[in-house]
Structure 1
């Protein structure tokens, strides 16, 4: 019997790739017991053997900390009052112990942010102030920005900054700097997940099925992109009107002389004024030119293009926009530039040129479905001008629906919006009765004007 148990435990550790620092039979036995209970989600039964191994053999295996987190989270969820506080503090201690005994498996920023989030979520029970909580998040961010990437924690971090600003405890400069910090971090994460997702999309587009593992990774990447998309809107919503021209312009004017040789400051200031449409103020001209003279880049060229666009010098604006694209070496950022320029052209009614830029944006970042939505909107807007008959004009809506459908297929963040667009366009296209009476089911309609595409009349 003893031999069977020993063999069972041996297979258990080999199967889970367990390595251990201490050869302690009691710890080995109890670890297998609490791990099995944890897998069965019987956390109360797992607690006692888990604590025994944790206390006696803290360096025995990382499973102590992986399973221990689940056990303590269960205890926290089912406790109240002082007992709940005790479990919260013990989970915070557990993460510290994990970092001490398994540092290579415990990214500092990730776990420090996790600890800060736990304290924030239980701030009433722990009696934590906004100042204390912000300090915890800021410490996590400063110690290891790379692994501080949880979407919820990034939002909480910025939200606390806004609350402290509103309470008069943080100046506007700190608020806007922290906004830029968090937004840039979110963009870095979106870029990383988008690039990974794009590889899988390219494989699917080539006609090759994803493996089971790749399918799981695709869902994982899509779930994180959805989360970052949600917090991006929440971050902007939380900032609200605090970053309006009335606040930004005096602040940047005051700090301009001290930062005229600070490329990062100039880029952020010009970017914020562009984002908030404060480009009519002469300060924007000074910021952009100082930035371009100090550090010519894709961003500075783009901002110069905005200035020319404001002056009504369209050809010069386009030249600067093209220069911005030429200077950008990062495909993700270049895709964003194409998209921004296309959106400018779309607003001006230059639909053909806009589509060209949107198409380039899609080539560089196919998992961003927004260009598809924009192209579909331009098709729909042009329906009344692109066809000889009423039927042909309304057939353009099928083309718009097909384009919007692509957004849902490629971009997990747009599934709902794309579905609404598809339904809207299909409702405006010829009905089944009209298709029947026209006798054109299955025919191909060539759409003229700037669109230059064709669409097949659906069969009924």
Structure 2
């Protein structure tokens, strides 16, 4: 019995020693491999890294991080079949990292990176490449954020439709979900940007981290704006009324009791302003009778507005805004309501609805720009003296500048507008002559009711 106990103790000690030795071996191998990788000597680092990955896969996440860089180097410097082998090896490395380190790895990013690699190197059929992106979207939509990947996801659908492998409706469906994802990312970036811009506009000092956050948010907004433009260009004539009306007209009688179909047709016809054809009224009326919704109410508002009944149109638009759950579509409705009030000269009401639009969609730069224009138009009516009246233009310029920062698609026009308004505001000599100073607050009256500070000059 004693001999058996001693054997068990001896075995445990020896087992512990073996594990310790294995751990030391992994640490030694990894240290040597990591040193070469840190020095960016990926040619030398490649084989040691792959050995660590094979023999000690769970040793450290760094093995996969450095291994990715080494394989990207190999891919860049290889051709033909050898290059394809390294590509497949990199895909395997990403998948293995996801399996071994799931808590430190984004599934959506891994799948989109794999899809992008196959797309860039034309591996597999068009459908294979599309399915790779679709996997990223369906399995981890939240983390499928790559602007380049989102565009490729849509482009591949268009390519399949061009080859007769998909219907036009499939293209529209894919466009809608990709565009919705992009707008969500834009709103997230703009929402993070807004308090930092306010802090900057108020003359407060920004930390290095905050400056970096502003830079990153603006880069993201520019990238997503470029993708939106590319998506619309790719969709092209497929989405014009000449294609949409025949597409939906041929199915209307069979689908006029199908709420999902009516919602889709209504949204697409409304978005493209295909509202003059009788089909639009048929679709809108049928949808509102079956299931009153934001889309059907909005469409009936469009029809009332076209008939010149602006009061009835606003009733429908407000109903649509209350029913709408999607923030981007809600912003579109609020913006239209605001524009109606603006055209009537009801600037205070218009601003209220432009602000509601911004609240729903923080990246809606045009709403900021419209507020800027209304403020500028009211300069002569909203100040007690000449200096204060001209000071209104500083506030208008601030709104226009904000429009440029949150929405790159209008940045050129918005920045030009901001510059023009600053040119109408008091200049340095005016501030001096009035005995005013930078940072001094000026309360603006009438419908505006805001405070603007004299900028640093």
Task: Give the TM interval when normalised to the shorter protein.
Answer: 0.7 to 0.9
Q: Deviations over 1:281-321 (max 9, x none)?
A: 22222322333344434343333322221221111111222
Aligned to 1:165: 161
- 1:137 counterpart = 2:133: yes
Task: Give the aligned partner of residue 287 of structure 2.
Answer: 291
Partner of 2:117: 118
Aligned length: 436
The separation in 2 between residues aligned to 1:457 and 1:301, in whole angstroms, is 45
1:316 to 312, 319, 344: 312
Corresponding position of 2:338: 342
CA distance in 1, matches of 2:384, 2:196: 42
Quick one: distance in 2 between partners of 1:459 and 1:205? Answer: 11
Q: Do structure 1's residue 276 and structure 2's residue 272 form an aligned pair?
A: yes
User: Corresponding residue for 2:65?
Assistant: 66
2:353 alignment partner, SS class: helix
Does structure 1 residue 26 correspond to structure 2 residue 25?
Answer: yes
User: Gaps (5+ residues) in structure 2?
Assistant: 1-18
- Worse-matched range after superposition: 27-36 or 305-314: 27-36
The alignment status of 1:183 with 2:179, answered yes or no, reads yes
**Residue 24 of structure 1: SS of its match in structure 2?**
helix
- 1:357 paired with 2:357, answer no
* Alignment-derived partner of residue 153 in structure 1: 149
Offset at 1:99?
A: 3.5
How far the C-alpha of 1:208 sits from its partner, in A, is: 8.4
Q: What residue number does 1:420 align with?
A: 416
Cα–Cα, structure 1 residues 372 and 66, in superposed 2: closer, same or farther, change >3 Å?
Answer: same
Q: Which moved more, 1:309-318 or 1:167-176?
A: 167-176
Residue 224 of structure 2 aligns with which residue? 228
Following superposition, the deviation at residue 163 of structure 1 comes to: 2.8
- Tell whether the 8 Å contact from 1:302 to 1:324 is kept in structure 2 after alignment: yes
The 8 Å contact of residues 115 and 129 in structure 2, kept in 1 or not, is answered as yes
- Tell me if 1:374 matches 2:366: no
* CA-CA distance at 1:153 after TM superposition: 0.6
Any conservation in 2 of the 1:400–1:425 contact (CA below 8 Å)?
yes
Contact (CA 8 Å) 1:325, 1:334: kept in 2 or not?
A: yes
Cα contact 1:21–1:59 (8 A) shared by 2: no
Verify the 8 A CA contact 1:180 1:268 in the aligned structure 2.
no
Structure 2 length-normalised TM: 0.77
Cα deviation, residue 397, structure 1: 5.2
Tell me the CA shift for residue 155 of structure 1.
0.6
Q: CA deviation at 1:247?
A: 0.4
- Structure of larger gyration radius: 2
> Structure 2 vs 1, CA of residues 329 and 88 (structure 1 numbering), >3 Å: closer, same or farther?
closer
Residue 401 (structure 2) aligned to one of 402, 405, 425? 405
Cα root mean square deviation, aligned: 4.3
Corresponding residue for residue 98 of structure 2? 99
Q: CA deviation at 1:53?
A: 0.7
Select which of 240, 244, 261 maps to 1:244. Answer: 240
1:79-94 to 2 correspondences below 5 Å: 79-94=78-93
- Measured against aligned partners, the alpha-carbon deviations of 1:258-280 in whole angstroms (never above 9, x if no partner) come to 54455444333222212211012
Q: Which moved more, 1:194-203 or 1:261-270?
A: 194-203
Whether 1:78 aligns to 2:74 is: no
Measured after TM superposition, the shift of residue 392 of structure 1 is 10
User: In 1, Cα distance between the equivalents of 2:141 and 2:119?
Assistant: 19
Name the counterpart of 1:7.
none
Unaligned regions of 5+ residues in structure 1, if any? 1-19
* CA separation of 1:73 and 1:304: change in aligned 2, threshold 3 A: same
